[in-house]
Structure 1
Amino acid sequence: MTEKRYILGMDIGTTSVKVCVYDPLAKEIVANQNKDTAANIPSDQGIEGNKQDVPKIVSAVHYCVSRLPRDVLRHVTKIGVCGQMHGVVLWRDGAWEKVEKDGMVIRFEGTRENMSALYTWQDSRCKTEFLDSLPKPDSHLKCYSGYGCATLLWMLKHKPEKLKNFKYSATVQDFVVTMLCDLESPIMSDQNAASWGYFNTTDNTWNIDILKSIDFPVELLPKIVKSGDIAGKLNSSWNGIPAGTPVGVALGDLQCSIIATLENTQDAVLNISTSAQLAFVVNSISDFGCNTIEHLPYFNNTYLVVAASLNGGNVLATFVKMLQQWMLEFGFPIPQSKVWEKLIALGLDAKTSSAMSITPHLLGERHVPTAKASVENIDLSNIQLGSVFKSLCDSLIQNLHTMMPKDILRSADIKRIVGNGSGLSRNAVLQRAVEHYYSLPLEFTCGGDAAKGAAIAVI
């Protein structure tokens, strides 16, 4: 009988951790777990800062893995990891410790005194004036607020003593890989490096000379390897996974959700979860004449053409919470699930067209960070809840279409859009808007799971 050989895939997301055990022969998930991290913590920058508690994220990782069947985990032969891009966590030696039982690690624990918070991709402390004062990167990619290098440069200017307290920096998923393998220093994939800014994807190197010219502590930057490479080996047996199991370098969650979803080169993938991204794969960097799309490193020296909006499911979730709060103030608490159910039903029944125009830039956009949300053309015919919700859903897709018009998809010979993310799969009003604005069929496949993609990427 052939010995089972599974891969553990892990996605360390903005709001939750998801893990799965993937069978590469059967091409199916044999076990999975997920847990909300509840890791957000207050920032001294107020609403402009966005920080998360790393030990809480690490705890969620171990919660998920520890609840997978032991008889499955002992057959894991590789581990793939991905996570939220752009963010940065700093640490020094002693940033984690092992908790063992019967000679096996049952969990790792982050030690807060030896690490910083995670400054996430949603951090907006780097204002336009500050970013404009920085040297231009030697890269086809720009550096925005929330990007690792931008956050570190802000600290260099405003909190230089804080940087001196730490020896290493990386994304949170890189930190987890460093911890699992007990690496001396972190190793980062080109996917995560490109999400930090000041990284040249052509020669696969940081812009060391440019960063040195402004006294950036370049010793904090991780070593770079190609996506799909192995970062190290599991340092100790972990909940039944054998010590010595190879661990892949951490990858971007977007790239991993794409690799788990794409079925052919004529597919574009639309992901709407916390934020929103529309992407397809090309062999080289092309000029589409549009400054709202980017070419991000993918796999096997290819690129993802991406329109990445900061406004997606988070905008709709804020609208739902607003309605809940209003009703609570009237003394009528309503479960979130009921609000969603009613909104979608009303949105589907709403008129096909409305004069109401919503600009959904609740979180701004990287190319227009000062943009705000607004509503125009309100009249007596469109103030019903269903009409407002439909207009909000339409506006999110219209915003993406402004960033990546359907002509770009047509020029790339894209034949369909594959949907991904709970924000889209559970919302038929959004789905209708996609087909309306892009004039392409929207389909859902069995892919879409970034944890599964992380497993596939290390096969």
Structure 2
Amino acid sequence: MAAGEGNLILGIDIGTTSVKVCLVDPNNKQVLSKQTKDTQANVPSDLGSEGNKQDVPKIISALNSCVSRLPKDQLKQVGRIGICGQMHGVMLWSNKEDKKAWDCIETYMGCRFEIPKENVSALYTWQDTRCERSFLDTLPVPQCHLPTYSGYGCATLFWITRNRPDKLERYNRAGTVQDFAVAMLCNLDHPIMSVQNAAGWGYFNTCVAEWNSDILQGASFPTHLLPHIVKSGAIAGTLDRPWYGIPSGTSVGAALGDLQCSVLATMQKPDDAVLNISTSAQLAYVMPPQFEPNIQCPAKIWDTVLSLGGQDCAVSSLRVVPTLLGERHVPEQNASILNVDPGTLGLGQVFQAVCSGLIENLYGMMPRQMLVASNIERIIGIGSALTRNKVLQKQVQEWYKLPVDFMSGGDAAMGAALAVVECQ
């Protein structure tokens, strides 16, 4: 079989806590095989709780492990690769001749990628809060529809430029971890980034698909680190060499955002909205084409709180604001508990109030009126934190008063595979 002529799609999702891969038959959009592995990649930050970093070699090791465990006969049939991953974060690497960011170790089934730790920075994730409001207020105003928040790639690079400038002397490339994976697979000299990930970095005008280069240069931002931009779904390159049986020359799509791919894998109709609650919580729906934006462990406590929280007697005036870490648009917002009295402190009542507070927080950012105005008729609920929690499900229904279906879905790896199929 010639390279790139296979009839299967490999989907990859490089998430915040794990890597997931799957092989999809594009003819019926069915998943044939899948693997997942926790990355255990978190590393201590010198900034304490304000920093959130991950070990890139561990992430790529998990990716190698997942792919290597897929059926060998199916890997030989892969004709395209789609990749997505955790959005907003940033990592730096070197592509200098004497300091390459990746090595290819030959195996009997093709190469395995290894990452010299000294040639890559840590991954500064979307959860990084080093860019406090006082720091963000010193940055130039972006020309884009999204404000810049802590954890966004450009904000983190601004912080590194001003506080760790020596780090920029060690590396000459930057991107999200999924962009790095694409560059590694295709042996790209310069990283390629889709408009989805670029929008998640800040300082990117989605209407014209360009970085705010003039604004960034005027603020002494290292613009030479910015990736080249392509449309979402575009092919970034081809597999540079065989990879666990996948032929060299196989097309690799530009990396996409995990949220978008989760929505793509879940939506059944244009008037569906998708609510995902897992590591984080998001509510999303697809805008029309003409739109332009201005460790699981046994714990019986869960059985108890789910039971008590679902009882009618648990309903009370107790109110919980659950934003312990704030929100991007209000990072200074703290968590709080209101209306506390001797009659509202039952375990079931507290749990019910926490669940209500979680959905109320989402509702404040995207209320029912916004969904209705966009002709949304149904919410599809996904994510383990939602599909396993009947109390949380009830709160979704009570707050939004729309038909809600809860299902196992949101497979971002599958969505990444489907995105490559649909854009051919």
TM-score range, shorter chain: over 0.9
| Map of 2:117 onto structure 1 | 112
Report the Cα offset of residue 365 of structure 1.
0.6
- Tell me which amino acid in the other structure corresponds to 1:102: Y
| Map of 2:104 onto structure 1 | 98
Confirm or deny that 1:389 pairs with 2:395.
Answer: no
Q: How does 1:236-385 map to 2 (within 5 A)?
A: 236-283=241-288, 335-349=297-311, 351=313, 353-385=315-347
Alignment CA distance shift 1:5-1:284 (3 Å): closer
Residue from 411, 415, 419 that aligns with 1:453: 415
Confirm or deny that 1:82 pairs with 2:84.
Answer: yes
Alignment CA distance shift 1:381-1:446 (3 Å): closer
Other structure's SS at 1:30 match: strand
Checking the alignment, whether the CA contact within 8 Å between 1:350 and 1:386 is kept in structure 2 is: no
Give a deviation string over 1:361-412, Cα, whole Å, max 9, x none. Answer: 1110111111111111122222122211111111000111111111111111
- Tell me which amino acid in the other structure corresponds to 1:380: P
Report the Cα offset of residue 240 of structure 1.
1.1
How large is the RMSD of aligned CA atoms in angstroms?
Answer: 1.8
| Map of 1:307 onto structure 2 | none
Q: Which runs of 5+ in 2 are unaligned?
A: none
| Map of 1:309 onto structure 2 | none
| Map of 1:212 onto structure 2 | 217
Alignment CA distance shift 1:4-1:221 (3 Å): closer
Other structure's SS at 1:417 match: strand
Checking the alignment, whether the CA contact within 8 Å between 2:109 and 2:243 is kept in structure 1 is: no
| Map of 1:299 onto structure 2 | none
Other structure's SS at 1:134 match: coil
In 1: Cα distance, 2:76 partner to 2:303 partner: 41
| Map of 2:361 onto structure 1 | 399
| Map of 2:392 onto structure 1 | 430
In 2: Cα distance, 1:104 partner to 1:279 partner: 39
Q: How does 1:2-21 map to 2 (within 5 A)?
A: 5-21=7-23
| Map of 1:409 onto structure 2 | 371
Report the Cα offset of residue 249 of structure 1.
0.3
| Map of 2:42 onto structure 1 | 40
Other structure's SS at 2:197 match: helix
In 1: Cα distance, 2:186 partner to 2:83 partner: 12
Report the Cα offset of residue 336 of structure 1.
4.0
| Map of 1:326 onto structure 2 | none
Report the Cα offset of residue 345 of structure 1.
2.2
Give a deviation string over 1:157-206, Cα, whole Å, max 9, x none. Answer: 11111112110000000001111111111100000000000001011111
Report the Cα offset of residue 264 of structure 1.
1.5
- Tell me which amino acid in the other structure corresponds to 1:36: D
Give a deviation string over 1:216-242, Cα, whole Å, max 9, x none. Answer: 111100000000000111111111111
Checking the alignment, whether the CA contact within 8 Å between 2:387 and 2:407 is kept in structure 1 is: no
Other structure's SS at 2:37 match: strand
Confirm or deny that 1:194 pairs with 2:156.
Answer: no
Most deviating of 389-398 and 275-284: 275-284
In 2: Cα distance, 1:442 partner to 1:352 partner: 22
Other structure's SS at 2:266 match: coil
Report the Cα offset of residue 284 of structure 1.
5.9
Checking the alignment, whether the CA contact within 8 Å between 1:350 and 1:390 is kept in structure 2 is: no
Checking the alignment, whether the CA contact within 8 Å between 2:17 and 2:39 is kept in structure 1 is: yes
Other structure's SS at 1:418 match: strand
Q: Which runs of 5+ in 1 are unaligned?
A: 288-294, 297-316, 322-334
| Map of 1:68 onto structure 2 | 70
Other structure's SS at 1:193 match: helix
Report the Cα offset of residue 446 of structure 1.
6.1
In 2: Cα distance, 1:411 partner to 1:353 partner: 31
Checking the alignment, whether the CA contact within 8 Å between 2:89 and 2:176 is kept in structure 1 is: yes
In 1: Cα distance, 2:317 partner to 2:408 partner: 37
Most deviating of 90-99 and 219-228: 90-99
Report the Cα offset of residue 340 of structure 1.
2.5
In 1: Cα distance, 2:312 partner to 2:114 partner: 50
Please report the TM-score for the alignment, with normalisation by the length of structure 2. 0.94
Checking the alignment, whether the CA contact within 8 Å between 1:228 and 1:248 is kept in structure 2 is: yes
Give a deviation string over 1:263-322, Cα, whole Å, max 9, x none. Answer: 1121111011111111111126879xxxxxxx59xxxxxxxxxxxxxxxxxxxx9xxx9x
Alignment CA distance shift 1:103-1:452 (3 Å): closer
Other structure's SS at 2:136 match: helix
Residue from 102, 117, 126 that aligns with 1:121: 126
Other structure's SS at 1:458 match: helix
Alignment CA distance shift 1:23-1:433 (3 Å): same
In 2: Cα distance, 1:429 partner to 1:33 partner: 30
Confirm or deny that 1:136 pairs with 2:141.
Answer: yes
Checking the alignment, whether the CA contact within 8 Å between 1:350 and 1:387 is kept in structure 2 is: no
- Tell me which amino acid in the other structure corresponds to 2:138: S
- Tell me which amino acid in the other structure corresponds to 2:259: L
Alignment CA distance shift 1:400-1:103 (3 Å): closer
Other structure's SS at 2:267 match: coil
Report the Cα offset of residue 420 of structure 1.
1.6
Most deviating of 339-348 and 36-45: 339-348
Please report the TM-score for the alignment, with normalisation by the length of structure 1. 0.87
Other structure's SS at 2:275 match: strand
In 1: Cα distance, 2:344 partner to 2:275 partner: 28
Residue from 52, 55, 67 that aligns with 1:53: 55
Other structure's SS at 2:245 match: coil
**Identical aligned pairs, as a percentage?**
56
Report the Cα offset of residue 447 of structure 1.
3.9
Report the Cα offset of residue 129 of structure 1.
1.3
Checking the alignment, whether the CA contact within 8 Å between 2:88 and 2:153 is kept in structure 1 is: yes
In 2: Cα distance, 1:285 partner to 1:170 partner: 28
